[in-house]
Amino acid sequence: MDSKTPSGERIAKTIARAGLASRRDAEKMILAGRVRVNGAVITSPALNVTQKDQIKVDGTLLKEPDHARLWLYHKPSGLVTSDRDEKGRRTIYDEMPKDLPRVMSVGRLDLNSEGLLLLTNDGAIKRQLELPATGWLRRYRVRINGRPSEDSFAPLRAGLRIGAERFQPMSVTLDRQQGANAWLTIGLREGKNREIRRAIEAIGLQVNRLIRVSFGPFQLGTLKLGEVEEVRRKVMRDQLGLAPVSDEKPKAKKPQRRHR
C-alpha cells in the first residue's frame, strides 16, 4: 500500500487561491455538484489536483491564480456586503470599479454601516483575517441618539451578555455631545452580526450612524466614499506574514472610484 501523500493540493484550496470563493464556500460548491475536474463532476472536496488538471466551476474554466492582493474600500451606507441580494438591493459589487478583479470581502459591514472594508482576491487570506484567533482590533466611530455619561458604557467595557450570547469587552470612549446625539469611538476584536448596534440597544440607546475607521493595521484615513485603494504588496506581506513574491515591484496605485 502506498502511504505517500497525493501530489498537488486540495481542490477547494485551488479554487480559493483563484479568487473565486473562500475555501469553505468552494467546498459547498463541490458538494452541490458545481465543479468538474477533467470533465467529471466531483462531489467530495477530498481530492488533490495539480496544474495539469482542468477545473471548471459552473461550466467556466478556472483561471490561473493571481498573486495574493488586498484592497481598502470605503463602503457607503445603503449597500449590501454580498455578491447578490435576495431582496434585489444594491450590493458593494454593483459599485466597484470595472477594472477591479474578482474580489471577496473580509467579513461584512451591515446595510446601514459605512467605512473601511477589506477586499481580497485570495480565499486563504480572507479566512485568515476572519478567524477569531487573528484578534485584530477594529475601531468604529459611532453616533448615538441620547445624552449618555461615561457610566452608561460600563456594561460594554465589562463584557455584555444578551440572552445566551456573550460579547467580549469593548473599549468605549465618549468623544463629544453634539445636540441630541453623542459621538463615540468603539474598539472590538470580535465580528459578530450587528454587534455594536445590539450592544448599544441593550443599554437603552440607539445607533444612528456607524463608521469603521480601522481594521487591525489598515486605516480608512482619507479614502473617499466609494473609493478602492490597493495595499502595496510589501505592506500586505509584512502585516500578514506572507512570503515575498519573486516578481514584486513597488508600484503606487491611485484610489479608484466607480463613476455613475
Do 9-61 and 70-133+217-257 have matching folds? no
Least confident of 96-110, 209-223, 240-254: 240-254
Grid cell for residue 50: 495539480
Give me the CATH topology for the region 137-215: Alpha-Beta Plaits (3.30.70)
Supply φ then ψ for residue 103, to 5 degrees.
-130, 160
Residue 221's Cβ-side half-sphere holds a number of Cα atoms within 13 Å equal to: 12
The answer on pLDDT for 1 being more than 60 is: no
Catalytic one of 66, 83, 110, 122: 110
CA distance 28 to 82: 17
DSSP notation for 145-169? ES---GGGGHHHHH--EETTEEPPP
Residue 130's Cβ-side half-sphere holds a number of Cα atoms within 13 Å equal to: 21
Nearest one of 95, 115, 118, 96 to 106, comparing CA atoms: 118
pLDDT at 168: 92
In Å, what is the CA distance from 248 to each residue of 22, 67, 143, 148, 238? 25, 10, 42, 51, 13
Least confident of 84-93, 207-216, 234-243: 234-243
Architecture of domain 70-133+217-257: 2-Layer Sandwich (3.30)
Assigned CATH class of 9-61: alpha beta
pLDDT at 15: 87
2 labelled catalytic = no
What residue ranges do the domains of the chain occupy? 9-61, 70-133+217-257, 137-215
CA distance 178 to 145: 10
Give the rounded distance of the alpha carbon of 113 from its chain centre: 14
pLDDT in tens, 53-110: 999 999 999 987 778 899 999 999 999 998 888 888 999 999 988 888 888 899 999 9
pLDDT in tens, 83-97: 888 888 999 999 988
Give the CA dihedral 177, 188, 224, 237, nearest 10 degrees.
150
Q: Round the average pLDDT of the chain to a whole number and report it.
A: 87
From the CA atom positions of the chain, what is the Rg in Å? 21
Grid cell for residue 104: 471577496
Q: How many helices (H) and strands (E) does the chain have?
A: 6, 18
Global pTM exceeds 0.95: no
